[in-house]
Structure 1
Amino acid sequence: MTDSLRPHGNNRTPLPPTQQSADGVPSPRSPQSKQAQGDARAASGGAKQRDAFFDNAKYLAIVLVAIGHAWEPIKGDSRTLETMYTVVYTFHMPAFIIISGFFSRSFDASPGRLQRLITGVAVPYIVFETAYPLFKRWIDEDPSQEISLLDPWYLTWFLCALFIWRMTTPIWKMVRWPLPLALGLAMLATVSPEIGDDLDLQRVLQFLPYFVLGLCMKPEHFHMVRTRTMRIAAVPVGAVALAFGWWAVPRMNTAWFYHRDAAQELGAPWWAGPVMVLAMFGCSLLLTACFFAWVPGRHMWFTALGAGTLYGYLLHGFFVKAGDYQGWFEAAWLHRPLGEIFVTVVAAAGVTLLCTPPVQRVFRFAMEPRMEWAFKRDAGRLAREREKREGAAAREKVNA
């Protein structure tokens, strides 16, 4: 989620100037319509203009993440809720990861971008990978809970994965067939249970194709799914997905949607892993396209919250886990339809509040630390600043 998530664009399609957002996914700017294309042209001339579509998509995706986590403790008694949970888990993280990849296209491991990667992704990972186990020790009275930076806990896997994906971006930009290669690695991961839990590499590899797909995409690819025809087509596709989910719930292991286990660990034959990678990649892309088709492209009341999705992603986990540890979800009335609706509304409202500017100001020290003291100043920037000062001094002498 999350997230935690810079420079964008390529030489052919100019995109607005770089600016990293709080959630580790670069600040979204990409033309979507005639008006947005005009904004993009203005941005190429120096103005900084966020694209409402991507902010809206990030916010809505993070709301679905929080709702899915809130559903998890209560879904066992409801086939309807299990169906909705399955459908949501098919596309909410793939959509978020595709956006992350799209805005990572010009990452080149330069000092400035590496610095932003460290402060925007690595540091939040270390902070929350420490905070979550300490929280469990306190609220669950579990002194045995260990702190390990090598074993991502709960939500922090995404930050670990994003760091690895971003660092490998120059490789994916260099190879001739990046997406088939990424799919091949994901397929191999599903037949390799010996990979283990270190750095949650199963998830890193199995979700990798979505990030690489985002790297390969251009603004016009998002335009293609955001037409009236696609919005209309998304309705029957969503209905079919729900119907299939209803059928599949008692017949399919939901753990496939987490992308964290090899086929053998799920009690399936080894060949099922590669098959499921391809099948779920296709299903996820179809539902993600439907999701993007219905994301509004204009400025909405929640658009500004798209810049704070890392805050909502990482902080909502404390409330979900507190409810789990304290038995809040065990109340019988929460397992009835009205209770399920109540949990859904509370989860959506809660993560919305956690994305707001006041929360961002309070937790910015952990999510977006400046840390200028930790890095050497860029020699090129120092030279440019010196030239600017010398030029200003020379002009003053001439004017005098």
Structure 2
Amino acid sequence: MEKPLPRPTGQSRTRDPWWDNARFVSAALIVVLHSIGSLMSRHDTLAVYHVGTWAFRVPLFVILAGVFSSGGPLGPRQLRTLLRNIALPALIFSLLFSLESYALGRPFKLHITELPWTLWFLMALFFWRLLLPLVVQLRHPLLVTTVVALAVGYIDEFGMRFAASRTLVYLPLFYFGWRLGQGMFREWFASRWSLPVAVAGILASFAVAWHGGVRGTWLSMSHAYAADTPLGMEGAWLVRLLVLASAAALVLCLLRLVPKRRLPLISVLGTGGFTIYLLHPLVILPFRERGLIARADTHLELIALMVGGVLLAAVLGSPFVRRLVQPLTQPPVDWLFAPMPAQATPTPITPPKQALGKEFRITP
């Protein structure tokens, strides 16, 4: 039986810094991309960054979410946690995004079924955690979820609404993350031979990005297939399969290179990866809408933007900011629920032996 990899839980007082280090890497790369994303059409090097680091952003975030998820039955306590930590923050930050966009001059629009910008991840995460206890009961979970992920690309109805497309397409990676948390690939993470292989994998990712040919529609996972693949619509599923498999392999490479020991500052900031993900769009949006990001044109300015993205991730992941926004990221919901019923310990009842003897006495 595979031995589970160490995972921090709500009850544990110590966290495994390995996962926190990886979480900060993923969150920082996401913030950097959103800081420079509007400039990619003007600079080829930014497009290389987009493709080369793709697997280390959303796919890594999805896999890490799977690592920290439970495949057991969802009881009342787990369902309340889902509502407090995922559903309500998604609605709160969707409203904040709408208010901020309105303040910046856009028409007010309330997002319910299609959450804005990065918040689709929370809606997908809500469904992933609901589906995981069912998925783990399947005979071949990874095969089934992968077939579903490839098939939905041919169905136009699976799009951005309720994050349906991304929920199903990324479900194999979410389940893969859960398996990592259960101890799969333990030898890969501990052996010496895997280290140079992981380095080669990272370099290959950027080599492919530099060579070009990878289109953004292959990586977005948000809509049905488009007829822009070399294999046409008939072979579009092969492209998606290759992308998902590459994402899983590259995440394994990155996790192999991420230090397992506690790193100064990085490990602490990594505990706030979820806060970084939620807050950074609200900070970046005014700079983007006012055209301040679009002014960056020289290589020095682009580097400054990327460094600024890393610094922004560090600030948003700091303990002070996490405590400050905790009412938004983990809103108090005790008032919303009825008190949890007390679980009474059943008392065994033993019938008197004499009564049993009289009741079942056989008279000759």
Unpaired runs of 5+ residues, structure 2, are 348-364
1:100-136 per-residue CA deviation (whole Å, 9 max, x = no partner) reads 1122134421111111111000110110111112211
Whole-Å separation in 1 of the counterparts to 2:149 and 2:4 = 30
1:291 corresponds to: 254
Shift of 1:168: 0.8
In 2, distance between residues paired with 1:70 and 1:305? 19
SS in 1 for 2:136: helix
CA distance in 2, matches of 1:98, 1:328: 34
Per-residue CA distance 1:216-245 (angstroms, 9 max, x = gap): 332352552354432222222222221211
For 2:281 and 2:102, the matched residues in 1 are separated by 15
Check the 8 A contact 1:186/1:209 in 2, yes or no: yes
For residues 317 and 14 of structure 1, do their structure 2 counterparts lie closer, same or farther at Cα, with a shift above 3 Å needed?
Answer: closer
Residue 274 of structure 1 aligns to a residue in which SS?
A: helix
**Counterpart of 1:347?**
309
Q: Could you say which residue in structure 2 is the equivalent of 1:105?
A: 70
The residue aligned with 2:10 is 19
* Per-residue deviation, 1:340: 1.5
Q: Which residue of 1 aligns with 2:52?
A: 87
TM-aligned CA distance change 1:228 to 1:328, over 3 Å: farther
Pair 1:239–1:104, CA change in 2 (3 A): same
Q: What pairs with 1:350-361 in structure 2 (closer than 5 Å)?
A: 350-361=312-323
Distance 1:222 1:164 in 2: 28
Q: Of 108, 112, 116, which aligns to 1:153?
A: 116
Counterpart Cα distance in 2 of 1:174 and 1:210: 17
| Equivalence for 2:342 | 380
Q: Tell me if 1:164 matches 2:127.
A: yes
Shift of residue 153, structure 1, vs aligned partner: 0.8
User: Does the alignment pair 1:309 with 2:286?
Assistant: no
Following the alignment from structure 1 to structure 2, what is the Cα–Cα distance between the partners of residues 105 and 193? 31
CA distance in structure 1 between the partners assigned to 2:45 and 2:190 by the alignment: 29
Aligned counterpart, 1:231: 195
| Paired position in structure 1 for 2:163 | 200
Task: Write the mapping of 1:70-149 to structure 2, written as runs, cut at 5 A.
Answer: 70-139=35-104, 141-143=105-107, 145-149=108-112
User: CA–CA distance in 1 between the matches of 2:200 and 2:4?
Assistant: 33
Q: Give the Cα separation in 2 of the matches to 1:207 and 1:220.
A: 19
Distance 1:108 1:12, change over 3 A: farther
8 Å Cα contact 1:66/1:348 also seen in 2: yes
- Deviation by residue 1:1-41 (Cα, 9 ceiling, x = unmatched): xxxxxxxxx99649678418xxxxxxxxxxxxxxxxxxxxx
The structural deviation recorded for 1:371 is 1.6
Q: Looking at CA atoms only, which structure, 1 or 2, has the larger radius of gyration?
A: 2
Structure 1 CA distance for aligned equivalents of residues 38 and 272 of structure 2:
26
Which shows bigger deviation, 271-280 or 49-58?
Answer: 271-280
Distance 1:91 1:276 in 2: 19
Query: In structure 2, what is the equivalent of residue 43 of structure 1?
Result: none
Q: 1:220 to 1:294 in 2, by over 3 A?
A: same
What's the counterpart of residue 244 of structure 2?
Answer: 281
**Secondary structure of the corresponding residue to residue 72 of structure 1:** helix
**1:193 match: secondary structure:** coil
Q: Distance in 2 between matches of 1:14 and 1:202?
A: 30
- The answer as to 2:147 corresponding to 1:184 is yes
Structure 1 residues 128 and 222 mapped into 2: Cα distance closer, same or farther (>3 Å)? Answer: farther
Letter in 1 for 2:57: H
State the shift of 1:261 in Å. Answer: 1.6
Q: Which residue of 1 aligns with 2:33?
A: 68
1:52 alignment partner AA: P
Task: Name the CA distance, whole Å, in 2 between partners of 1:17 and 1:348.
Answer: 25
Distance of aligned partners of 1:223 and 1:95 in 2 relative to their CA distance in 1, 3 Å threshold: farther
1:336 Cα deviation after fit: 2.1
- Out of 103-112 and 305-314, give the one that drifted further: 103-112
CA contact (8 A) 1:97 1:214 kept: yes
* Cα distance in 2, alignment partners of residues 311 and 277 from structure 1: 30
Higher relative contact order (CA 8 A, sep 6+): 2
TM-score by length of 2: 0.87
- CA–CA distance in structure 2, aligned partners of residues 236 and 310 of structure 1: 30
Q: What whole-Å deviation, never above 9, does each CA across 1:165-208 have from its counterpart, x for those lacking one?
A: 00111111111111111111111111112224311211111111
Report the Cα distance in structure 1 between the residues aligned to 2:2 and 2:294, rounded to whole angstroms.
55
Give the drift of 1:266: 6.0
In 2, the alpha carbon distance for the partners of 1:17 and 1:128 equals: 26
Question: What is the aligned-residue RMSD (CA, Å)?
Answer: 2.4
- Structure 1 distance, partners of 2:233, 2:162, is 23
Q: Is there any run of 5+ residues in structure 1 with no aligned partner, and where?
A: 1-9, 21-46, 388-400
Letter in 1 for 2:163: D
- Percent identity of paired positions between Structure 1 and Structure 2: 23
Query: Given residue 290 of structure 1, which amino acid in structure 2 is its aligned partner?
Result: C
Contact (CA 8 Å) 2:279, 2:316: kept in 1 or not? yes
Q: Matched residue of 2:53: which SS?
A: helix
Q: Which amino acid aligns with 1:286?
A: A
CA distance in 2, matches of 1:163, 1:17: 20
Other-structure match for 2:138: 175
Moved more, 89-98 or 292-301: 89-98
User: What one-letter code is carried by the residue in structure 1 that aligns with 2:26?
Assistant: A
Q: What is the CA distance between 1:215 and its match in structure 2?
A: 2.4
Instruction: Give the count of matched residue pairs.
Output: 343
Higher mean C-alpha displacement, 237-246 vs 227-236: 227-236
